[in-house]
Structure 1
Amino acid sequence: MVSPHPPTHVQELRHPEVDPRIRWFRAGEEVDTFAVVTARFLIFVDTMATPALMRQVIKAVRPDVAGRTVLVLNTHADWDHVYGNRLFTPEGDLPGQLIASEATRDRLLSGHAQDRLRQQQAQDARFADVTLVAPDMTFSGRLTLHGGDLTLEVLPTPGHTPDHVSVWIPELGTVLAGDAAEHPFPQVRGGAQLAVTRASLERLQALDPRVVLPCHGGTTTPGLLMRNLEHFEFLRAQLGQLPSPADWLDRPQEAGELAGASYAQALARLGEQPGTVPAFYQDFHTDALHATLEDLAGLR
C-alpha cells in the first residue's frame, strides 16, 4: 500500500493498556513498527518503509540497547515492513540479527521484490537508499524467543500473505498482529485465502489476548479480531443472496452495492466512513468482495 502523503516523521505512541516494554512507533498512515525491550534482548518487529523512518526509531530506543542483544523480526516481506532492514547489517547503524521465516527470505530474494523496488525508486526519491536485505536467520513453523522476563512466541498467521507471522507475548497478554488483523479490515487476496485468513484470526483469538496491536489501524482492543472475522461473515451473508456469484466476478463493486455490502455500508457497520480511514481500504474492500464471490462460486 502506498500512502498518498508519504510520512517523513515517526511518532512514538503510548497507551495505558500497552506495557512500556513495548515501544510503539507510527509513520503517518503508512505503518506501525514495534520494539520490545526484554531483559536479554531488544527486538524490533519490522523495519518500516524506508531507512530514514527506521533511523528515527533506532534513535528513540538506543538507550535501551545497552547490555542487550539486538534482534529484528520481519513479520512478512511486504515493502513497508522490511525496507529498513539494511540498518541492521554489520555495516549499518545498529548491527543486529535479522530473523524471518524461510518464506519471507525467499520473497525478499525474489526477482519480483527487486522489480518492485526498482519501480518505487524510479517513482519516488525517498526509496533511493533502500537495499533489499534478507534475514540471516530463518525458521519454519513457529519460533520462541526467551528474553528472560518476556517470551515472544512467533506464530504462523498466513492470509494477508503466505509468509505472514504474528507475535504472542504471554506475560503481557499481548498480540503483535502485523497485518493479520487490521482496522477497519485486513486485505485478502483471492477466495482461497479467505479460509486461511479466518483461521489465522481464530488462532490469535484463541489466545484470549488482552491487547492486540496491528501494524495498521491504531487500535489496542482484542475485539479487533472478532470484528475482522465478523466483517468477512457480513460480506459472505450479503453476497450469498445474489444469484450465480460467478457472474459478478468482473463486477465486485456493483455486486456489493446491490447486496447491501458497499464500501460505505461495510465501514458504517464499524462506526467509520470513507473519510475517516486511509483511502487504500477501498481497494481492500474490492479485493474482499472479489474473494468472497470466488469463494461462493467454489473457485478456490
Structure 2
Amino acid sequence: MPFTEVADRIWVARYDWFDVNVTLVGGARGLLVVDTHASGLAAREVIDDVRRLGVGDVVEIVNTHEHFDHTFGNGEFRTSYGEVPIHAHETAAERTVAAGERIKGLYDAEPDDPHRDEVQATTIVPADRTFSSAMALDLGDRFVELVHPGRGHTGGDLVVRVPDADVLLAGDLVEESAARNAVPGFGEDCYPMEWPLSLDVVLSLTTGSTVVVPGHGAPVDRDFVEDQRNAIGIVAETIRDLAGRGVPVDQALAAADWPYPREELAAAVRRGYEHLPRSQKRLPLI
C-alpha cells in the first residue's frame, strides 16, 4: 500500500511526481486529507489508494499552501466524496487560482512534458474555509489544529498539528526530498527574511518525539527542522549583511558563501533585498 501509518491513525503516501506527500488523519467522523496532489488525474490515483486502505471516507480537506502540487486534486476529491470543506490559510485560498493559472501557462509552453495534458485539464478548486491565525477541526474523537506560523515558502503557509499523536504536518516550510537534495523551495513567492521566524513557531509546536511530515520526502524529527531553520537563517542573515554593506543585488550571489547551491537562491536573494526596509540597505558602493 502507498499509505504508511506513521502514528496512530495517521497515514502518509509519497508519490513519485514531485516526491510529494499526501497525508490522511483518521477520526471517528472520517478522514482528513492534507494536500491533494498535482492534477485531477493524479488525485484519482490517490483516491484509489485511500479506498484500498479501507479506513473511511474523506470528510475534510486541508491545503498547506496554494501551489498546484498541493491543490490541483481538490476538485477530484469533491467529485468522489461530495462537497467536503476545503480549508486553507486566507492568503493561500485567495492566491490558489492565480497560482494555478500561472502553472498552466508554464506547462502550455512545454508540449513534451508527460504531465502537460493532465495539468491543463484540471479544474482549479480553491479552499472555501479560511482562517487567519489558527483554527481547530473536530474529527469526532480527536481535534486537529491548523496554524499559520508566518510567511516562508509562501505567504499562506499552514502547518497541521495532531496533538494526541505528536505529529506535525509541515507542508513546504520543511523540505526533505532527495529529489531536491533537501533544499527548501525558494521560489518567486517566498519570504526568506521571515521564514526562519516562522520555523521558530513550528518548532515551538513540537517535542523531541514529534514526527514531522514535510511536503516532500520522508518524515523527519525536530533536530532536522532545527538544522534546516538554521540554514535558512544563514540565508536571511547573509542577505541582510550584503544589503547592509551596499553589495548590489545582482552581485550578491557571487559575493558570499551560502548553505545551499547558488542556483537555488536567485529568487531568495532578490526577494530578500525587496523585503528589507530601507534602513537596512545601503546604496551600492561605486
Change beyond 3 A, Cα 1:161–1:237: closer
In 1, Cα distance between equivalents of 2:277 and 2:234 = 13
CA distance in 1, matches of 2:69, 2:44: 14
CA RMSD of aligned residues (A): 3.2
Question: What residue in structure 1 maps to residue 138 of structure 2?
Answer: 146
- What residue is the counterpart of 2:265 in the other structure? 285
| Aligned position for 2:22 | 33
Report Cα offsets for 1:134-177 as digits up to 9, x if no partner.
22323332110122333210000322111111111111111100
The code of the aligned residue for 2:62 comes to L
Question: Quick check: 1:200 aligned with 2:198?
Answer: yes
Letter in 2 for 1:14: T
Deviates more, 1:94-103 or 1:196-205: 94-103
Confirm whether residue 247 of structure 1 aligns to residue 234 of structure 2: no
Judge conservation of contact 1:166–1:178 (CA < 8 Å) in 2: yes
Q: Does 1:94 align with 2:66?
A: no
Counterpart of 1:186 in structure 2: which amino acid?
P
Match of 1:178 among 165, 171, 177: 171
1:116 aligns with 2:103: yes
**Shift in Å, 1:127:** 1.4
Number of aligned residues: 265
Give the secondary-structure state (helix, strand or coil) at the position aligned to 1:99.
strand
Change (3 A) 1:104 1:244: closer
Superposed displacement of residue 227, structure 1: 1.0
Task: For 2:226 and 2:27, locate their aligned partners in 1 and report how far apart those are by CA, in whole Å.
Answer: 29
Runs of 5+ consecutive residues of structure 2 not aligned to the other structure: 111-115, 177-181, 282-286
Partner amino acid, structure 2, of 1:220? V
Q: In structure 1, what residue type is equivalent to 2:226? A: M
- Whether the 8 Å CA contact 1:181–1:224 is kept in 2: the answer is no
Aligned-pair identity (%): 25
Letter in 2 for 1:247: V
Q: How has the CA–CA distance of structure 1 residues 178 and 296 changed in structure 2, closer, same or farther, with 3 Å as cutoff?
A: same
Taking the aligned partners of 1:114 and 1:292, their CA distance within structure 2 comes to 25
Q: CA deviation at 1:222?
A: 1.6
Structure 1 residue 94: Cα displacement? 2.7
Q: Does the residue aligned with 2:192 lie in a helix, a strand or coil?
A: helix
For normalisation by structure 1, the TM-score amounts to 0.75
Letter in structure 1 aligned against 2:216 = H
> For residues 217-296 of structure 1, what are the structure 2 equivalents within 5 Å?
217-235=217-235, 245-255=245-255, 259-261=256-258, 266=259, 283-290=263-270, 295=276
Counterpart position of 2:2: 12
Question: Which of 154, 161, 165 does residue 154 from structure 2 map onto?
Answer: 161
Q: Is the 8 A contact 1:240 1:296 kept in 2?
A: no
8 Å CA contact 2:4, 2:13 repeated in 1: no
Call closer, same or farther: CA 1:192–1:145 in 2, change over 3 Å.
closer
Secondary structure of the residue aligned to 2:144 is: strand
Q: CA deviation at 1:195?
A: 3.9
Aligned to 2:124: 132
Is contact 1:185-1:231 (8 Å) kept? no
Q: Which runs of 5+ in 1 are unaligned?
A: 1-10, 268-280
Residues 252, 286 of structure 1: 8 Å contact kept: no
Match of 1:270 in 2: none
Post-superposition Cα deviations, 1:179-224, rounded to whole Å, max 9, x if no partner, equal 1121334234689933421221011101223111101232321222
How far off is 1:35 after superposition? 1.4
Change (3 A) 1:27 1:251: farther
For residues 41-60 of structure 1, what are the structure 2 equivalents within 5 Å?
A: 41-60=30-49
Out of 46, 50, 66, which is 1:77 matched to?
A: 66
Matching residue's letter, 1:130: T
Contact 1:40 1:69 in 2 (8 A): no
* Mapped contact 1:13–1:25 kept (Cα < 8 A): yes
Shift of 1:44: 0.8
TM value normalised by structure 2: 0.78
The one-letter amino acid of 1:148's match is G
Aligned to 1:275: none
The answer to whether the 8 Å contact 2:193/2:236 transfers is: no
